[in-house]
Amino acid sequence: MRMKTRRAYLALSGLLAVVTSANAADARPNFLVIVADDLGFSDVGAFGGEIDTPNLDALAYSGLRLTGFHSAPTCSPTRSMLMSGSDNHVAGLGSMAELLAPNQKGQPGFEGYLRPDIAPLPERLRDAGYTTIMSGKWHLGTTPETDPSQRGFEHSFALLQGGHNHFGLGLSTDPSKGGYTYRRDGKTLDALPADFYSSDSFTDELLRFMSESAGNGKPFFAYLAFTAPHWPMQAPTSDIAKYHGRYDRGFDELREARLRRQVELGLLDPSVIAHAPTLKSGAWNELSAEQRAEQARLMEIYAAMVDRLDRNVGRVVDYLRRTNQFDNTVIVFMADNGAEGIDLRAGTIPRMRALVDAADNRLDNLGAASSYLSYGPGWAQAATAPSWLYKAYTTEGGTRVPAFIEFAGLKRQRAISPVFGTVADVLPTLVELAGLPPPTSTFEGRTVRPVRGTSWVPYLAQNTERVHPPSEAVGWELFGARALRAGDWKAVHLFDGDWQLFDLARDPGETRDLSAAEPKRLGRLVSDWDRYAKDVGVILPNEAVYRP
């Protein structure tokens, strides 16, 4: 297998250059996939933000910034697409396990965990001779059989649930009884370090696994899945102090500043009309003084969480440079969905509201381990602008995420790419870069679910100008919200509303509904969505489970 894959790797049409690395016995590239949780499109400096993110910025500027990269509308569906290379309904996360409608429970594609007939990315790479390691959020199953140690990761430190206390409070050894459960190499932990903080500890564990496997002559696939900046907004006091007063002028002004910066960076055409934010509590100047003080504090904490995430990315990059592996490592960075706009104070999910009510959310305690709040739709829509809405919606604001790929062997680098792509493309891309044949319906003698993503390798090699042809229809569905994209045209259906039609080439903010002007085009896209839904097994919920 090693000689076969090595020959295939060397034949990748000039895309790659074999470079000296610590993996002297196997010159195939290493892979590092980093996922941020609920990170907004413009939160990172290289994408228009003011938060201090020098490590991510350096990688993004030296690599290929992807401004047309799309996820699912929420976290576990996206992670299932990342691991499977397919649609979330195919992979078992047709909806989040925590938010299944009555008619979806027990149905194929809605298992709430990564299906056993999926051949996940780490398993494919492990069986091809890669060392496979992960640290961070799993959210693809809580049973021993669905643990990352059983899905291809040789070493893993995993938070099983979708969110947690960032300082490690609420530890549970039984995920069926609430709390937060962690496993290391499949073994449930009954204690965490006294100084546990999510971004630091996940990085500590990843670096430990990388160090322990160093020198084994094998390339590695490393998956670092942060839970920052997912709520609750919690960060070390010193990090929060760095941003004191930074956001006192509010989310309306931040939104305008972010839009201006995107134009300056060449990420946004100045002629683009940004979608107006939806603010149930009103604009900044409509909030009371007490509300503004709390909101500013929450954004300070959020910025601190992103800042600390960045510093931990820097730790991993430093390790790769010290061990002479950086130039032979393909780094993929992405967020798992659009920025989170939920207001936990006004939330309708009882278990979330109970955590808010039990917390100490006094202004001077916000950010501590005993606090529990989110930052709300104002800041979220500052981060997703010019796009429409945020996490949980099938609009661009819910699915267009910051992403980049950095690798010394790329022909396309130090550039911005607006081409459309999805998280399902990561698996076939890395499989091809590893020199493996394209995925088929069988793997290691068993029948597996099909890969629906497309490899980016021809595009990265400058052999094509698109990843997905204009004729290809790509669909989304979550909580009953739907969307279908073909080329630059997109049809959107939000819950109980009507289908709307947008020309993203001229209106990326989804501000002008063209359904009345282009009824035939809309009809074709809706028919395409119906075919997509049948193909992947969509079951629309029979009640409103979640509508933020």
For 252-267, write each residue's pLDDT tens digit: 999 999 999 999 999 9
DSSP 111-158: SSS--TT---HHHHHHHTT-EEEEEEE--S--SGGGSGGGTT-SEEEE
Specify burial of residue 505 (Cβ count, 10 A radius: 0-12, 13-18, 19+). exposed
Q: CA 541: distance to chain centroid?
A: 24
State which amino acid sits at residue 285: N
30-36 and 329-335 as β-strands: parallel, antiparallel, unpaired?
parallel
pLDDT of residue 165: 98
User: Any idea where the domains of the chain sit in the sequence?
Assistant: 2-466
Does the annotation mark 166 as catalytic?
no
For 130-167, write each residue's pLDDT tens digit: 999 999 999 999 999 999 999 999 999 999 999 999 99
Does the annotation mark 75 as catalytic?
yes
Q: Homologous superfamily of 2-466 in CATH? A: Alkaline Phosphatase, subunit A (3.40.720.10)
Instruction: Kindly name the residue from 70, 75, 230, 468 that is annotated as catalytic.
Output: 75
pLDDT of residue 12: 52
Q: Which two tokens stand for residue 299?
A: 């954004």
CA distances from 107 to 176, 307, 515, 539 (A): 20, 41, 33, 9
Residues of the chain with pLDDT under 70: 1-25
d(CA 234, CA 251): 19
Phi then psi for residue 502, to 5 deg, are -135, 145
pLDDT of residue 19: 35
Instruction: Kindly name the residue from 139, 155, 166, 275 that is annotated as catalytic.
Output: 139
pLDDT of residue 17: 44
Q: Of 37, 50, 45, which is closest to residue 198 (Cα–Cα)?
A: 37
pTM confidence score: 0.95
d(CA 61, CA 335): 17
Specify burial of residue 438 (Cβ count, 10 A radius: 0-12, 13-18, 19+). exposed
CA distances from 163 to 76, 139, 170 (A): 11, 9, 11
Q: Using DSSP, state whether 372 is helix, strand or coil.
A: coil
